[in-house]
Amino acid sequence: MPECQTAPMCPTCDGLRSGERDAERVRDHSRATDCRVLLRRHQEADHQATGAPAAV
Ligand SMILES: [Zn+2]
C-alpha cells in the first residue's frame, strides 16, 4: 500500500485504512473497496495525493 506514506497523521486516512483492513479480515470485499475509494477520494481532495495536507 504505497499510499500509506501520505499524511501519516491524518485521522481520516487512518480510519479509512483500518476500516479497509478490518473489512478484508472478514472478507468483506465490497466494504474494503469502499474504503479504498473513499481513501483515494479523500487524499485527492485533502492531500492532493502528494502528502502535503491542505497545501492550498
Ligand atoms: Zn487524510
What does the pLDDT look like over 17-46, one tens digit per residue?
999 999 999 999 999 999 999 999 999 999
Number of domain units in the chain: 1
Number of neighbouring beta carbons within 10 Å of residue 10: 19
Cα-Cα-Cα-Cα dihedral sign, residues 7, 15, 19, 55: negative
Cell for 4? Answer: 500509506
1 is a domain residue:
no
2 is a domain residue:
no
- 32 lies in which domain range? 9-47
CA of 8 to the centre of ligand 1 (A): 8
Cell for 23? Answer: 473489512
CA of 48 to the centre of ligand 1 (A): 10
3 is a domain residue:
no
20 is a domain residue:
yes
CA of 36 to the centre of ligand 1 (A): 12
Q: Is the pLDDT of residue 51 over 90?
A: no
54 is a domain residue:
no
